Amino acid sequence: MHTFQLRLKYLKRKIKKWNKEEFGNIQKEQVIIQTKMKKVQQQIINESRSEGLAEEEGLLINKLEERRQQEEILWKQKSRIQWLKEGERNTRFFHKAMIQHRQ
């Protein structure tokens, strides 16, 4: 293998490791945050709203919104990759469909 290809493989491994450490599994984290949110909200219902519980709820809401935005970005990126891989085929398909429709 060429040194350039080896460097790319090395870089790919490093990026995957960084991604896992930095972002982890977004969907799994959302479930964990939602579970914590339910517990905090149940505590608020049972014990009444305290400043500490309200602050914790606010932090969880912010984390959940951040994860939702990350998930949205993830799906946009994945759909873009899919389009780049298959976009030409899809364009050709729609073009043929349009010609048939005109006829």
pLDDT at 48: 84
Within-domain flag for 8: no
Torsions phi, psi of 23, nearest 5?
-110, -30
Q: 20 in a domain, yes or no?
A: no
More confident residue, 20 or 44: 44
66 belongs to a structural domain: yes
Q: Is residue 23 a contact partner of residue 71, using CB atoms and an 8 Å limit?
A: no
Residue 2: inside a domain: no
Q: Higher-confidence residue: 16 or 88? A: 16
Range of the domain at 74: 25-102
What is the rounded CA–CA span in Å between residue 99 and residue 6? 47
Tokens of 88: 């030409």
| pLDDT at position 90 over 90 | no
**pLDDT tens track for 27-80:** 888 999 999 999 999 998 898 888 999 999 999 999 999 989 988 888 888 777
Is residue 15 a part of any domain in this protein?
Answer: no
Judge whether 49 lies within some domain: yes
Question: Per the structure, how many domains does the chain have?
Answer: 1
Structural domain includes residue 17: no
Does 16 reside within a domain? no
